[in-house]
Structure 1
Amino acid sequence: MKEQVTIKWHHKLSIIPDYVSYILYFLIPVFLTLISLLLANFLAKDSLEKTHKIIKKDNGEEQTVKTSKVIEVEQANNAFLPSYLGYFFVALSVPYFETLIFVFLVLFIFTFFSQTLYFNPLFLLFGYHFYYLTTINRTKVFLITRKILKDPNDIDLPNLKRINNFTFIDIRR
């Protein structure tokens, strides 16, 4: 049996309209996402900054140029939306709160231990974008950043935070 749960748990709160509960239910994950972004400042530092490369010209002169460590950029903003929509519809169909918590914990454990991506769709509300970057070593990494990345040659990311070996977040604008 599905129940409608609102914040009218106390008789003094009974005058509050139901939509206030729904707004609060939405703001809780947004607030937790904001806290996770603040905690990201304490992650280990890393970078994908350009390196200096010396090029010899035909006339014998040497020229120093900066080259990017990234050779390919692929946008990943929409890659996981179907999965999260699937979770949403599963949550709507679960009849009991205990079952919902159990399903959520199982999904959380599998997602956490897979350690592949940390895609939080609420990051989109804070202006973040998601990218797959392929480095010069042919390693594919996942990047969360506010920057718009298009050309691999222009990518210079000196202030990344490492979430795991293949996932990074760029806190700065």
Structure 2
Amino acid sequence: MKTLYQLFLAFNSTWLIAVVFLVKEKYKFNFLNEFPTYYSWVIFVLIPIILTAFSFLIAMRLPKDRLQSSSVKEIELANNNFLPTYLGYFFVSLGVNDVPTLVVVFMMIYVFTFLSQTLYFNPIFLLFGYHFYFIKTSGSVKIFLITRRQLKTPGENGFEKLRRINNYTFIEL
């Protein structure tokens, strides 16, 4: 289940590249030919949002874990750390001129995202009220935490309902 979820998270994290390309190229669904093009664009944007919502249901099946408040030594907000990466993705997708090139670029980024298996930053999580944090533990291990809570002070909060995505990435549902 963990590997399936990791594949799914990597896909959700990189799919916005295709959305930007499809909107740029003014693609539209055939069944919406009678409607303005932006109807298709709305669906293109809704697809990753719906898939991200679905990822929360899948996450319920991941292994449970916890982190004691006494073992949290540092908290660093990571929401903004990934903005340059996503801006790069968007600029790449704007520079792609055809579908075969998009497929190759998407697959390369997808594979690298999956194989890195350290962070699964998906900007759509922000729409669902989640935040991203780097947490340094008392054992000097730096983990990536996805949670709805606003964290400020180390040792103030324990995490009893974590789900382990991999050894360094957790989501609190």
Do they fold alike, i.e. is TM over 0.5?
yes
Letter in 2 for 1:130: F
Structure 1 range deviating more: 122-131 or 29-38? 29-38
* Aligned partner (choices 129, 137, 158) of residue 131 of structure 2: 129
Aligned to 2:54: 35
Q: Which residue number in structure 2 is paired with residue 109 of structure 1?
A: 111
Greater per-residue strand proportion: 1
Q: Which structure's CA Rg is the greater one?
A: 1
User: Given the superposition, is the C-alpha separation of residues 134 and 28 from structure 1 closer, same or farther in structure 2, using an over 3 Å criterion?
Assistant: same
Give the counterpart letter for 1:4 in structure 2: K
Determine helix, strand or coil for the equivalent of 1:79. Answer: helix
RMSD of aligned C-alpha atoms?
Answer: 1.2
Match of 1:148?
150
Runs of 4+ in 1 over 4 A off after TM superposition: none
TM-score, normalization by structure 2: 0.83
What secondary structure does 1:143 align onto?
strand
* Structure 1 gap ranges (5+): 51-67
Of residues 161, 167, 170 in structure 1, which corresponds to 2:163?
A: 161
Deviations along 1:38-73, one digit per CA (max 9) or x if unpaired, are 1011101100024xxxxxxxxxxxxxxxxx210110
SS of equivalent residue, structure 1 residue 5: coil
Q: For residue 118 of structure 1, give the secondary structure of its aligned residue in structure 2.
A: coil
Provide the rounded CA distance (Å) in 2 between the counterparts of 1:71 and 1:20.
48
CA distance in 1, matches of 2:52, 2:96: 24
State the one-letter code of the partner of 2:168. F
Distance 1:36 1:70 in 2: 27
Output the amino acid matched with 2:27.
V
The count of aligned residue pairs is: 150
How many angstroms apart in 2 are the aligned matches of 1:77 and 1:139? Answer: 19
Matched-pair identity in %: 53
1:99 paired residue among 94, 101, 109:
101
Contact 2:26 2:37 survives alignment (8 Å): no
Q: Is contact 2:63-2:164 (8 Å) kept?
A: yes
Q: What's the TM-score once normalised by structure 1's chain length?
A: 0.83
Task: Name structure 2 gaps, 5 residues minimum.
Answer: 1-23
- d(CA) in 1 for partners of 2:150 and 2:74? 14
| Structure 2 equivalent of residue 90 of structure 1 | 92
